[in-house]
Structure 1
């Protein structure tokens, strides 16, 4: 299984420039890289580093972030998807991450879900035309993202099924799911085919595996048992120099 470094955080202390972090990930023997938003990034230099190393991008975010549940933001969201797709075409057509936006207080949750489904169908059509996959990511509301509409993996998978496009899939973040108290095997059983990418960070702390309370050998074994064969993104805040952090992650997870 491919291990991908989130170079937003990994290799940051060793290399100020993101393209050099991509080169460092290659030197560390990792199989891919990912980052967050793109508008503040040197895209031309990133393309050079990706071409030079041969590493694929495993994901980055639709930028700017806009709400799925608020129809007043839908035009801006679809514009962000269109712009991000054009950037993604230059970088190997990686999957693109979207989050839901915040709950609209006083608005029925079913109405908010319907708005998300409606705009995601339009976004998925744009992605399909470009040969790109969108990744819907639930985020925890307890530690990191209070007020976020989509914090449930089950709801995210329900929305993906309702949208009904092969170009919309789930980004499952073990940290966010664990914070929300989800039973990983229960929420993913029978639906692992809808999961395109998985990210790792321990809980508490959102640092490398082995620093918190998550049982990582059991987590990896469960994901393999469910049939997941995609990449694992190391999207955590390292507490050690990057090479040591990655070594600890490998030891903790068995990857």
Structure 2
């Protein structure tokens, strides 16, 4: 396992220039970064900074964000996937993140689930052609994302399994999962082959690991036991100078 700094938040206070955050991550001993939306980023400069430093880009987000569960938005969603796949190639990102969109209260949950699986099959086919991984991310509905349809790791894994594409995997964000009361050992048991990326932040507050109540030695132990060897995205909001929070996160995670 290796750490990937979410430079949307990490190094942001110290370095307003986005490419400078990549250099700062390198100077801090990190080998990978990730960020959220890409349309407001200088992708050519980002790619140059990645090439200059040798830092890898772990992921960015499909945008504009559109609903998977509303067929009226599917055309726009697939157009966003196509645009984002091209941007991922330009920036050097191997993976793109998608979320479900908000629940439609007048439609049954099963129908919404099936609608999402249908459009994810189309998006996964586009990703297969491009050689890019799509990451489906469940988001918590208790703090930041009330009304979001997909807030369950188990249902997210069901969707990935139903789509059946090697280019669609689950983004398991330990923060969102913990907020929803899930236990990683339980929700990932027997299904970890469907997970493509991990992100972390502490609970409560979404700050650096070591700032809250999560039992990180046990959580990291679960990942080790499952054989995870990929990026662990530090998607937290620094509670203090980035380098100080990084030191806390590294010591807490043991990575």
What TM-score comes out, normalization by structure 1 length?
Answer: 0.99
**Structure 2 contact 59–93 (Cα < 8 Å) conserved:** no
Q: How does 1:172-211 map to 2 (within 5 A)?
A: 172-211=172-211
Give the aligned partner of residue 151 of structure 2.
151
Q: How does 1:32-47 map to 2 (within 5 A)?
A: 32-47=32-47
Q: Tell me how far apart the structure 1 counterparts of residues 56 and 253 of structure 2 sit (CA, whole Å).
A: 22
Q: Which moved more, 1:137-146 or 1:88-97?
A: 88-97
Secondary structure at the residue paired with 1:16?
Answer: coil
Give the aligned partner of residue 81 of structure 1.
81
Secondary structure at the residue paired with 1:21?
Answer: helix
Q: What is the alpha-carbon root mean square deviation over aligned residues?
A: 0.7
Q: Tell me how far apart the structure 1 counterparts of residues 240 and 254 of structure 2 sit (CA, whole Å).
A: 18
Q: Tell me how far apart the structure 2 counterparts of residues 94 and 207 of structure 1 sit (CA, whole Å).
A: 26
Q: Tell me how far apart the structure 2 counterparts of residues 55 and 31 of structure 1 sit (CA, whole Å).
A: 5
Shift of 1:240: 1.9
Q: Tell me how far apart the structure 2 counterparts of residues 109 and 75 of structure 1 sit (CA, whole Å).
A: 21
Give the aligned partner of residue 16 of structure 2.
16
Asked if 1:134 corresponds to 2:134, the answer is: yes
Q: Which runs of structure 1 show a deviation greater than 3 angstroms over 4 or more consecutive aligned residues?
A: none
Shift of 1:139: 0.1
Q: Tell me how far apart the structure 2 counterparts of residues 203 and 233 of structure 1 sit (CA, whole Å).
A: 16
The gaps in structure 2 that reach 5 residues or longer are none
Give the aligned partner of residue 246 of structure 1.
246
Q: Tell me how far apart the structure 1 counterparts of residues 77 and 148 of structure 2 sit (CA, whole Å).
A: 16
Matched residues, number: 255
Give the aligned partner of residue 237 of structure 2.
237
Q: Structure 1, residues 153-182: CA drift from partner, whole Å, max 9, x if none?
A: 000000000000000001000100000000
Secondary structure at the residue paired with 1:198?
Answer: strand
Give the aligned partner of residue 106 of structure 2.
106
**Structure 1 contact 15–21 (Cα < 8 Å) conserved:** yes
Q: Structure 1, residues 190-214: CA drift from partner, whole Å, max 9, x if none?
A: 1111111100100000000011100
**Structure 1 contact 93–131 (Cα < 8 Å) conserved:** no
Give the aligned partner of residue 164 of structure 1.
164
Shift of 1:93: 3.9
Q: Which moved more, 1:21-30 or 1:91-100?
A: 91-100
Q: Structure 1, residues 113-137: CA drift from partner, whole Å, max 9, x if none?
A: 1110100000000000000000000
Q: Tell me how far apart the structure 1 counterparts of residues 47 and 59 of structure 2 sit (CA, whole Å).
A: 14
Shift of 1:230: 1.1
Secondary structure at the residue paired with 1:177?
Answer: helix
Give the aligned partner of residue 68 of structure 1.
68
**Structure 2 contact 58–93 (Cα < 8 Å) conserved:** no
Give the aligned partner of residue 221 of structure 1.
221
Secondary structure at the residue paired with 2:59?
Answer: strand
The gaps in structure 1 that reach 5 residues or longer are none
Secondary structure at the residue paired with 1:13?
Answer: coil
